[in-house]
Structure 1
Amino acid sequence: MPFAHGAACPPPRPTGMGDVPEPCPQAPLAVLSKVELRVSCKHLLDRDTLNKSDPCVLLLMQTQGQWMEVDRSEVIKSNLNPVFAKIFTVDYYFEEVQKLRFEVYDSHGQAGLGTHDDDFLGGMECTVGQIVAQKRVTKPLFLKYGKFAGKSTITIISEEISGNNGYVELAFRAKKLDDKDLFSKSDPFLEIYRIDDDRSEQLVYRTEVVKNNLSPIWEPFKVSLNSLCSCEEKRKLRCVVWDYDSRGKHDFIGEFFTTFEEMQKAMGENKVQWDCMNPKYKIKKRNYKNSGVVVLLDLKIHRVYSFLDYIMGGCQIHFTVAIDFTASNGDPRNSCSLHYINPYQPNEYLKALVAVGEICQDYDSDKKFSALGFGARIPPKYEVSHDFAINFNPDNDECEGIQGVVESYQSCLPKIQLYGPTNVAPIISKVARVAADEERTKEASQYFILLILTDGVVTDMADTREAIVRASYLPMSIIIVGVGNADFTDMQILDGDDGVLRSPKGEPVLRDIVQFVPFREFKNASPTALAKCVLAEVPKQVVEYYSYKTPPHSPGVAWGQTGSPQGPALPQPPPGWDTVKVPVQDTPSTARSRWSVPCGPVPTPAVPSVPSVPASLSL
């Protein structure tokens, strides 16, 4: 198969010998099905004259017909049979064909990856589904125009990340290691391998090199429990200490075997140590004791919570719908109106309401939904309101289930006069006030979803942006569905997909909480397609909101257990949150510098601290 390897290779970024992956600033979100991919190659072409190739792997995914780089591995010096420490993580969707391309290049140090024919070592295409179904895929590498790259092969091993996964933070050091260098001391690094059921070994982590030191202290690192031991405490692990060689011919110092169960003895102030053994020395030398000692200085276990964890922990989804009753919808008595009630065919407002509401009601125990309207003159004085209950009960705007909302909507239409303008900031602020009140309670167990149905671009854009920025600090998500054939280009501003939404004062949103979808894109699709699209980001937004707070905790539950029957307790509100005021708006008015071998952990960064609220958001 042909490979446009030159075009596919993007501008180089540092992947040299001194690079150490930087921790991500946010906790990983266990929302989607994710798959880890491990890569190794054999019999690569030797492109270097005086040495062997220095291979690096690029992972690309096809998006809208274009190949886009997802990530790349570290560079392994002078090795034609590399086992890469980098673990690629991709989202897995059963209903989609996700095409992947793996490209192997010979790196040139600081110059980065080459783009010439002589630098391309081969490529392979497959799908995520193929890798997941087979779990282990070995295929030949191809050069340009479908030519085989000699006997070169690439092996991809997949592993699904459990939604109940967590990660572990480890800190190792060694003492009195054997000296393998003639004129200096050893340059040790540590590798950890997981031994699978078929007795094969999977590289979990490779530390940096500590130069010229027989008692090195390696940097603490993080790996997922799934990667380390497949979430099985008794699974055997093999740990190997090497003396680094710049030509790739690393000298074996010693090894030891352990389990995660044994490692856990290092929690708290305890330490665990192992003799680093060289089997050859043990046989040849009668008085051989060890080739040094490896010490686990510290171990910390962190659980990563999923959307389901919070739902099982008691989180309730409170659903509010806001309906546009501006005059641009047309007279409801006219069959051309977007509000026309056809006894045989629901209008677009009802279709969107039912599609989204029927899913949300499964997460609300009382099945009561708030139903609001805006942009109409309402009785008794027929003054314009941008925030009224469509059941005309100002003390209780809730309806019994989705059917209750539908009935209130249909009975409301003959009683109001469609007017304008299209102001949505008052309704966003109203729901935000309720969310803020919930935030201050001890339980803080409700998350609010506001569905706004509108036929045009909002006219109070500045106030709406301000309200969204404030709401991003609260347990709240906003879904906007545009009905009719209006030009909704300007509405994309509110959906943070093209950049960070900011208030008129320049304050950014804390989280991306808005999803905008034109209904016409789903006019001929099933209701489930619309619901799937507009609700796709909500689980992520829920987890992201709680990730900024103290992680849930189930007292007395050891690692490996499922937790209490009620699930994890919901986190408490962050200190000082009660200083944030949501305004009332009745009228319209967010490396290490040491020399190191290529190393790479499973991407499992630390839980972030609670962010500070911008001063300008406090009124």
Structure 2
Amino acid sequence: RWRNYKDLTSHQGIPGKKCGTIIVKAEELGNCRESVMMQFCGNKLDKKDFFGKSDPFLVFYRSNEDGTFTICHKTEVVKNTLNPVWQAFKIPVRALCNGDYDRTIKVEVYDWDRDGSHDFIGEFSTSYRELSRGQSQFNVYEVINPKKKGKKKKYLNSGTVTLLSFLVDVEVTFLDYIKGGTQINFTVAIDFTASNGNPAQPTSLHYMNPYQLNAYAMALKAVGEIIQDYDSDKMFPALGFGAKLPPDGRVSHEFALNGNPQNPYCNCIDGVLEAYYQSLKSVHLYGPTNFSPVINHVARYAASVKDGSQYFVLLIITDGVISDMAQTKESIVNAASLPMSIIIVGVGPAEFDAMIELDGDEVRISSRGRYAERDIVQFVPFRDYIDRTGNHILSMARLAKDVLAEIPDQFLSYMRTRGIKPSPAPPPYTPPGHPLQTQI
């Protein structure tokens, strides 16, 4: 599968040998966010199998601007019947007719054969506008086989296909929820374990270079400056883990960067950075590296607000060493049923096998035989985004893009499975003394 036109044009064949032709056809997508759920049944379809009846299925084609047709959906096969009832299916209106309600939709009916040489039963044409009438006499279609019609004078049809139901659903987006008032609550957790190296040494990942940001600060600033635009009050809880705290040297895996456990909030990302720098001066890097306490910290808040009014995002920045893998997996499995996502940015040269496992893109994460309800973890290694020319602005932009790429889908998966719709966006603000203008 080619991702874009550039990939396609750079695909090379074997020099001096003709390897075939690839024809690319494109059409601008219509701005249509509707999907439609439809169900069809067949009646008295032609018998095609010698020993049985038929195994019918439907193939839907969208007509293109140049008059050609493109397959946009195939139903499942219903075995050994001339009166099939196919399962309801959902399809974007863009895929069905590109938002043009009067564009032809062609449907072919086939009898399935094991060897792939499916027998053509017949076809019919319709349009989105016709289908939108729902179950009625207008949506009972004669299935016509042109070859039979030309040869047999008494030929009427090869059966009928009837629309049983038609239900339109408008696809909602991440921004629909934000406009409707859903708040994104962003929490930062920073790794203060000894494996990061002594902050006073230039080799440390926490080194406080007066001339440029260290890897932790760059990752925090890159992701934070994007996500803070979705946070209405710009106040972020900022936590650290794996350090000995003053005055008694107590090891903590869940301490407030600003030193105030009752109010760990920092004002904007710059406030988080300032608290991070102050913590480096006062705490002693130690260990072990436990993720589960900060995950459980955010999960407690997420568990108290399940109505869709708030969604929680935890950003963990770490050097990749982890000591409580089993507990962390259990925490993630528990958090997967909550309005919550976890972003892990790995800094430094370590192998990040454990972080990749937590990401769960290849294998869904599980704990004690229980699988996570959905994928809520996104891991990225910071070193992949270091620009060799030293352009840190470019590095940070690329990092932010990939780190946040999965958040909207993770957010929507939670809202959809809970049946939570976005609230209507409030009307635009009109300053006092400026009445709304209406045309008469």
The SS at the match of 1:98 is helix
Do the aligned partners of 2:76 and 2:87 also contact (CA within 8 Å) in 1? no
Match of 2:240 in 1: 373
In structure 2, what is the Cα distance between the partners aligned to 1:372 and 1:285?
A: 80
Do the aligned partners of 2:141 and 2:161 also contact (CA within 8 Å) in 1? yes
Q: What letter is aligned with 1:169?
A: M
Segments of 5+ residues of structure 2 without an aligned counterpart are 389-394, 428-440
Match of 1:475 in 2: 339
- Deviation (angstroms), 1:430: 0.3
Alignment of 1:44-59 (within 5 A): none
Do the aligned partners of 2:177 and 2:422 also contact (CA within 8 Å) in 1? no
The SS at the match of 2:305 is helix
The SS at the match of 2:221 is helix
The question of 1:546 aligning with 2:409 is answered: no
Match of 2:132 in 1: 264
Match of 1:416 in 2: 283
**Does 402-411 or 294-303 show the bigger shift?**
294-303
Q: What letter is aligned with 1:349?
A: Y
Q: 1:310-367 deviations in whole A, cap 9, x for unaligned?
A: 4444333221111122334344344444333222111111111101111111211111
Structure 1 residue corresponding to 2:250, chosen from 371, 383, 408: 383
- Deviation (angstroms), 1:190: 4.9
Q: What letter is aligned with 1:234?
A: D
Match of 2:35 in 1: 166
Q: What letter is aligned with 1:517?
A: V
- Name the structure where helix makes up a greater proportion of residues: 2
Match of 1:485 in 2: 349
Structure 2 residue corresponding to 1:400, chosen from 253, 257, 267: 267
Alignment of 1:200-599 (within 5 A): 200-205=68-73, 216-222=83-89, 223-240=91-108, 256-266=124-134, 272-276=139-143, 293-439=160-306, 442=307, 444-503=308-367, 505-524=368-387, 526-550=395-419, 552=421, 565=425
In structure 2, what is the Cα distance between the partners aligned to 1:459 and 1:424?
A: 8
Do the aligned partners of 1:271 and 1:297 also contact (CA within 8 Å) in 2? no
The question of 1:196 aligning with 2:64 is answered: yes
Q: 1:279-325 deviations in whole A, cap 9, x for unaligned?
A: 89999999997665432222334455443444444333221111122
Match of 1:24 in 2: none
Q: What letter is aligned with 1:546?
A: M
Q: What letter is aligned with 1:98?
A: D
Instruction: Give the structure-1-normalised TM-score.
Output: 0.57
Q: 1:48-89 deviations in whole A, cap 9, x for unaligned?
A: xxxxxxxxxxxxx4xxxxxxxxxxxxxxxxxxxxxxxxxxxx
- Deviation (angstroms), 1:159: 6.0
Q: 1:183-230 deviations in whole A, cap 9, x for unaligned?
A: 9988876554333333333344456777887x6334235244222222
In structure 1, what is the Cα distance between the partners aligned to 2:50 and 2:386?
A: 75
Larger relative contact order (Cα-Cα within 8 Å, sequence gap ≥ 6): 1
Q: 1:499-521 deviations in whole A, cap 9, x for unaligned?
A: 33222x23222223223333333
- Deviation (angstroms), 1:425: 1.4
Q: What letter is aligned with 2:269?
A: I
**Does 295-304 or 225-234 show the bigger shift?**
295-304
CA 1:303–1:383: 2 relative to 1, 3 Å: same
The SS at the match of 2:384 is helix
Instruction: Give the structure-2-normalised TM-score.
Output: 0.78
CA 1:270–1:508: 2 relative to 1, 3 Å: farther
- Deviation (angstroms), 1:393: 2.0
In structure 2, what is the Cα distance between the partners aligned to 1:520 and 1:536?
A: 18
Do the aligned partners of 1:386 and 1:423 also contact (CA within 8 Å) in 2? yes
Query: Percent identity, aligned pairs only?
Result: 47
Segments of 5+ residues of structure 1 without an aligned counterpart are 1-60, 62-89, 100-125, 131-141, 555-563, 568-619
The SS at the match of 2:366 is coil
What is the aligned residue count?
418
In structure 2, what is the Cα distance between the partners aligned to 1:511 and 1:459?
A: 24
Alignment of 1:68-79 (within 5 A): none
The SS at the match of 1:384 is strand
Please tell me the root mean square deviation across aligned C-alpha atoms, in Å. Answer: 4.2
Q: What letter is aligned with 1:524?
A: D
Do the aligned partners of 1:166 and 1:224 also contact (CA within 8 Å) in 2? yes
CA 1:454–1:242: 2 relative to 1, 3 Å: closer
Q: 1:78-126 deviations in whole A, cap 9, x for unaligned?
A: xxxxxxxxxxxx7x468xx435xxxxxxxxxxxxxxxxxxxxxxxxxx5
CA 1:380–1:164: 2 relative to 1, 3 Å: farther
Do the aligned partners of 1:276 and 1:292 also contact (CA within 8 Å) in 2? yes
Match of 2:434 in 1: none
Do the aligned partners of 1:315 and 1:446 also contact (CA within 8 Å) in 2? yes
Do the aligned partners of 2:110 and 2:118 also contact (CA within 8 Å) in 1? no
Do the aligned partners of 2:181 and 2:425 also contact (CA within 8 Å) in 1? no
Do the aligned partners of 1:208 and 1:218 also contact (CA within 8 Å) in 2? no
